[in-house]
Amino acid sequence: MKTAIRTVQIFALVGVLFLGNLSAAAQEAREPSWVCLTLPNGIVAWHRQLPAARTISIRVCVPSASGLNPAAPANDRLLFSLMETAGEEYPRARLDRIRDEGALDISGTSGLIFSSLSVSAIADRGEEAAMILSSLLYKPARDRQIFSELRTRAVNELHWRDGNAWSALDPHLQLAVHGKTVDGAFYGLSDSALATTQLEDVLDHHRKILAFEGTFLVSCGPQSAAGMAAVLARSFTRPTLRPSPRPLARAPFPAATNAVHVFPHEAASSAWAKGIFAAPRPGSEGYAAFVLTSRIWSEMLMDSVRSRNGLVYSVWASSPSREQHASAEFVLYRCQDIQRALDLAAESLRKLREGIAVLPGPESPARSIADVLPATRNQILASIALQNITPAERTSSFASWLLASGDPKAFDRLPDAIRAVSPEDIRKTAQRFYDRMHWGVTLSPKAVTNFCGLRWNP
């Protein structure tokens, strides 16, 4: 056999560094776990050392967000957008130069229950990353022109989202199910909070949240915990003094209806349908079973609705996201015959409750939950590993799980919790959660009359 071999060297500039990391990684099967550091000023910091990492991520999480501040929901969104764009010590031009080097990436986001500002950097620039992060956090820019530009862009994003039939479905569905939209969520152009918020409002808000004692730091990179503690202590010096706002209360999920709500939208192309249903909180008992059940049901749906009948481009049941833990979704994406797809979905759900995970085919028998569970477990575990490779992914997962569950070990425990789920747990999960489904369908207005009688009756 002739096999042509040529060995090539990529990343020549950082090769030596990487060799060291590879060797270290090969020996370091036991990855250090999250270490809690308390800085001299009282801020709690969590650090995970990843010896092989070539970048570092440092994230500051602040317990302030639109859901906790429904009276002025735009403040956090605009503040964290301002922070990622410019600061008093780091004017926009200076940050732009840093960004153009590509060695540091700065990002500010604000959701419903927390906001965060993060800096990712090439590993040897950890000290600089911490300095920039603290400077942007403590001293945001007071530049009206930049603020006005960011506000206009935020309003534009709302225009975009509202004009998209798929995302416009969410507020309609929330209204139909809960009688109100989610507190603090930006839905529709009727929400004028963004357009009327002024720079002074945002800077006042900044002074209040700066001292929240629930603020914490998360970092991940090749640095040791002791080394990172020293780096963070040098940059984050202001004390935290003020109690944080209380976490959002979870509203009970309303009883089931069989109605399917149809929402016409000018921009709707093919029909999209979304069902929402109650779901357990991440980190709670039953969450791991829920994740596995969603995956098994998704496979059933792909098999029966798409593969065997070709009715949709895609169909899936999701697990609740880490932040919005009130409900999960079941989605028919670009569907040809919604009623038939719903009937097939309902049929697959009935079978799942009976312990069947794969419907019988022309040449294959039905398979039970016990038959498919080991493979589904492997798949979920691989997905978790795949989504948590880089330092930035690690700090993001850890922070959002800590905020959703209140337990710093919750995310690390998830793999073991997934391994412990039994077939009976799956069956019970299907019975407990999937019977309270509420449906929304978005269609072009011309097609609505054909779909008014849609029903969901599992």
Shortest CB 14 distance to another protein, Å: 7
Give the binding range for another protein (CB under 8 A) out of 51-59, 168-176, 280-288, 404-412: 51-59
Q: Looking only at residues 303 through 332 of this chain, which bind another protein when binding is defined by CB under 8 A?
A: 303, 306-313
* Cα gap 249→415, rounded to integer Å: 27
| Residues in 255-314 that interact with another protein by CB under 8 A | 266-267, 269-270, 299, 302-303, 306-313
Helix (H) or strand (E) segment spanning residue 219: strand 216-221
Residues with Cβ < 8 Å from 280, sequence gap 6 or more? 286, 287, 290, 320, 433
Which residue pairs, CB below 8 angstroms and at least 24 apart, start in 356-361?
357/296, 357/299, 357/300, 357/426, 358/299, 358/300, 358/303, 359/300, 359/303, 359/304, 361/308
* 208 touching another protein, by CB under 8 A: no
Stretch that binds another protein, among 24-32, 204-212, 249-257, 421-429 (CB under 8 A): 24-32
Binders of another protein among residues 91 to 150 (CB under 8 A) are 93, 96-97, 99-103, 105, 120, 122, 149
User: Does 390 interact with another protein (rule: CB under 8 A)?
Assistant: yes
328 in Cβ contact with 320 (< 8 Å):
yes
Q: How far apart are CA 455 and CA 234, in angstroms?
A: 61
The count of residues interacting with another protein (CB under 8 A) is 87
Nearer to another protein, 190 or 364 (CB): 364
If one asks whether residue 448 binds another protein (CB under 8 A), the answer comes out as no
Residue 327 dihedral angles phi and psi, to the nearest 5°: -155, 165
Q: Please state, in angstroms and rounded to a whole number, the distance separating the CA atoms of residues 282 and 12.
A: 42
CB 284 within 8 A of CB 404: no
Other CB atoms within 10 Å distance of the CB of residue 386? 9
19 binds another protein (CB under 8 A): yes
Check binding of 30 to another protein (CB under 8 A): no
Distance between CA 132 and CA 374 in Å, rounded? 46
Nearest to another protein of 18, 212 (CB atom): 18
- Give the nearer residue to another protein in terms of CB position, either 187 or 236: 187
- Based on the shown chain and the rule CB under 8 A, indicate whether residue 52 belongs to the binding site for another protein: yes
Site for another protein in 63-92 (CB under 8 A): 85
In contact, 106 and 99? CB cutoff 8 Å: yes
Question: Counting contacts by CB under 8 A, is residue 336 touching another protein?
Answer: yes
Rule CB under 8 A: choose which of 39, 53, 132, 182 binds another protein: 53
Within positions 359 to 388, which residues make up the interface with another protein, using CB under 8 A? Answer: 361, 363-364, 367, 372, 375-376, 378-379, 381-383, 385-386
Residue closer to another protein by CB (options 176, 312) is: 312
Interface with another protein, residue 441, by CB under 8 A: no
Question: Which residue, among 84, 185, 236, has the nearest Cα to 228 in the 3D structure?
Answer: 236
Choices 157-165, 178-186, 228-236, 446-454; region in contact with another protein by CB under 8 A: 157-165
- The verdict on 160 binding another protein (CB under 8 A) reads yes
CB of 51 to another protein, least distance (A): 8
173: helix, strand or coil: helix
Which 3 state secondary structure label does DSSP give 304? helix
Residues in CB range of 321: below 8 A, 6 or more apart: none
Q: Considering the complex, what minimum distance in angstroms separates the CB of residue 182 from another protein?
A: 24
